[in-house]
Amino acid sequence: MKKLLTVASGLLLLTLLFLWWWNARAPKPIELIPTLTGQPEYCLTCHADVPEISPSHPTETFGCVSCHGGERLALDADLAHSTMRGGANPSDLSVVEASCGGSNCHSGSEADDRHHIQRVITSIQSTYAGAISNIRFTFGAQTDLSAHFGIHAVTDEQTQTGFTSLAKFDLFNESNPNIQKFGENCLTCHINATPREGDAYARQTGCSACHSVGNHTYTTAIPYTQCNACHNRGNYDLRTMTFTERTDQPTSRLADYYQPIAQFTQCEYTLDCIDCHTRSEVMGDGDIHANQKDIQYVQCKTCHGTLTELPLTKTLTDPNDIAFTLAFLNPIIDLKLGDTILITEKGEPLWNIRLLPDGTYEMIGKATRQYFTFRPVMGTACEQNPAEQESRYCHECHAVEH
């Protein structure tokens, strides 16, 4: 009996020592009370070294939980992470409304240009409607190229394009094996798709697909390399209906593009994609579109004009002009009231391009901060036909050789 008591007291001591050690090794909690929520959270206890996501989202204001979810008071990693939204990517479109939405944030009204989430969800980058309808048309599943399906179902009651909704594309409803293969192999890349497994793909959906350029860093200064993470990642093999991921590491932007026969003018490979392509082209305009061509409208003439017309410009007279907000979020240019900037035919500001007094234009790279000057086509020896504005026509004279 006494022997048993000795063993029991020894076990009790070991248990208490273990509990003491377990308690002592726990990190000292670091409390943060974000101004936005006023509720304490302890995420910084383990994540104090995570960089601030952007100047517009300071940690002391937003904290972590308002975007990521999670158990804000938990000190155990598994418990703290158990209710996180979207895993490593709270901007995944399946959870984005809870993470990034709200009328003061990214799902406000169209009137105050704060309906980012609605725009992205209905955008071509999200629905993939054009490719789906093209494949279904090609293999006889539909009689025209109208958009009927998206990667997910979307609706837009106030559509300007005639498309009020897209149904969810379901490969099991398709009888043609090529369409089924397309459904199996080709729908994983788009920003509303279920991300592929692996850390490398974790942030390639939702807002992060474009805006997350580094470790927990968001920006509107998006370099072309970010776009190329998807747009130069490989190529389709239409014989087998598969996507063949490239295995090499592209080193030359000009020579290592995924389509070897592609042609480029100097600005197409020197500038970043976002220097020319606008927010509504990339993020959508809030309406459902049938294909990429319906939404992508910037052409060479947008910046260079034609033989008979100068590019469109606008003199900034309203301090509330969206151009100032965009220049504030990516402060590469000191825009002032009275400056004349280029605009697109839809009126979107190309706020990084200013008209200079000598009639030339100055562009500042949104990601590189490099300065470029260029002149309009009007008054030059260019022999363009003003009606031929697709880049292939300009490539005839201005393509850069590899």
Partner 1 sequence: MTDLSRRDFLKLARAGFLWISSGLALGGLFRFLDYEPNPAPKTEFDLGPTGQFPLGSHTVLFDPPAILFHTKSGFSALSLTCTHLGCTLEQTADGFTCPCHASHFDADGNVTHGPASQSLRKLQVQITAENHVIVYLD
Nearer to partner 1, 105 or 276 (CB): 105
Q: By rule CB under 8 A, what string of x and - marks binding of each residue 111-150 to partner 1?
A: -x-x------------------------------------
Q: By rule CB under 8 A, what string of x and - marks binding of each residue 52-71 to partner 1?
A: ---xxxx--xx---------
Distances (CA, A) of 193 to 128, 153, 206: 10, 12, 9
Structure tokens at 99: 């993470």
3-class DSSP state of 187: coil
Alpha helices in 115-232 (DSSP H): 116-121, 124-127, 129-138, 177-185, 208-211, 224-231
Task: Write down the least CB distance from residue 368 to partner 1, Å.
Answer: 23
Nearer to partner 1, 4 or 387 (CB): 4
Task: Write down the least CB distance from residue 30 to partner 1, Å.
Answer: 11
Q: Is 221 within 8 Å of 367 (Cβ atoms)? A: yes
| 324 part of the interface to partner 1, by CB under 8 A | yes
Report the first-to-last Cα separation within the chain, whole angstroms.
90
Nearer to partner 1, 16 or 171 (CB): 16
Nearer to partner 1, 20 or 371 (CB): 20
Nearest-10 crossing angle of helices 129-138, 177-185: 160
399 forms bridges with which residues in the sheet?
265
What φ, ψ does residue 361 adopt, rounded to 5°? -125, 150
Nearer to partner 1, 56 or 173 (CB): 56
Q: By rule CB under 8 A, what string of x and - marks binding of each residue 326-365 to partner 1?
A: --xx------------------------------------
Distances (CA, A) of 83 to 52, 99, 193, 335, 348: 22, 12, 21, 43, 40
Separation of alpha carbons 113 and 5, rounded Å? 75
Radius of gyration of the chain (CA): 26
One residue of 5, 111, 381, 387 binding partner 1 per CB under 8 A: 5
Q: Is 379 within 8 Å of 304 (Cβ atoms)? A: no
Structure tokens at 121: 């969800």
Nearer to partner 1, 214 or 319 (CB): 319
One residue of 320, 334, 336, 347 binding partner 1 per CB under 8 A: 320
Nearer to partner 1, 34 or 311 (CB): 34
Q: In what order do the strands lie in the sheet with 154-155?
A: 149-150, 165-168, 154-155
* Span of 4-12, 116-124, 299-307, 340-348 interacting with partner 1 by CB under 8 A: 4-12
* Span of 138-146, 167-175, 301-309, 325-333 interacting with partner 1 by CB under 8 A: 325-333
| 182 part of the interface to partner 1, by CB under 8 A | no
Nearer to partner 1, 190 or 211 (CB): 211
Residue ranges binding partner 1 (CB under 8 A): 2-3, 5-6, 9-10, 12-13, 16-17, 19-20, 23, 31, 33-36, 38, 40, 55-58, 61-62, 104-105, 112, 114, 319-320, 324-325, 328-329
